[in-house]
Amino acid sequence: MNIIQWMIENRIAQNHRQAANIANGLKLIDLPDDTARIERVTLYRRWRPKTDRKNQLPTWQAFELAIAGIDPAGVVDRQMFMSMTDEDWQEKIHADLMNTGEW
């Protein structure tokens, strides 16, 4: 099977160049058969859907996660408190300690 053509037919990639870039990034040449290639490409597309441009992972990170065989369905989302200042953190910690009674 031609994996490049398969990616285009299954709307993983829009054209030959994009499909070739995906194949190279995912190191598909190293895989033993088409089943393994399809599985890796599918994982990649789960990590980097074409519809979610704003919140998607960088391409290199999606490649690495797909190569590692990690399915995004099995990964728990986390919330980061990026906007909290040191003072906010101190207040939060103090409030948590007051609620638990641990000093």
Q: Tell me, yes or no, whether 40 lies in a domain.
A: yes
Number of domains, the chain: 1
Q: What is the pLDDT of residues 35-89, one digit of tens each?
A: 999 999 999 999 988 776 666 788 999 999 999 999 988 887 654 445 555 666 6
Q: Which domain holds residue 8?
A: 3-75
pLDDT of residue 80: 46
pTM of the model: 0.70
The per-residue DSSP string of the chain comes to --HHHHHHHTTS-SSHHHHHHHHHHTTGGGSSSHHHHHHHHHHHHHHS-SS--SSPPPHHHHHHHHHHT--GGGS------TT--HHHHHHHHHHHHHHHT--
Q: Tell me, yes or no, whether 61 lies in a domain.
A: yes
68: nearest Cα among 32, 33, 43: 43
Q: Tell me, yes or no, whether 48 lies in a domain.
A: yes
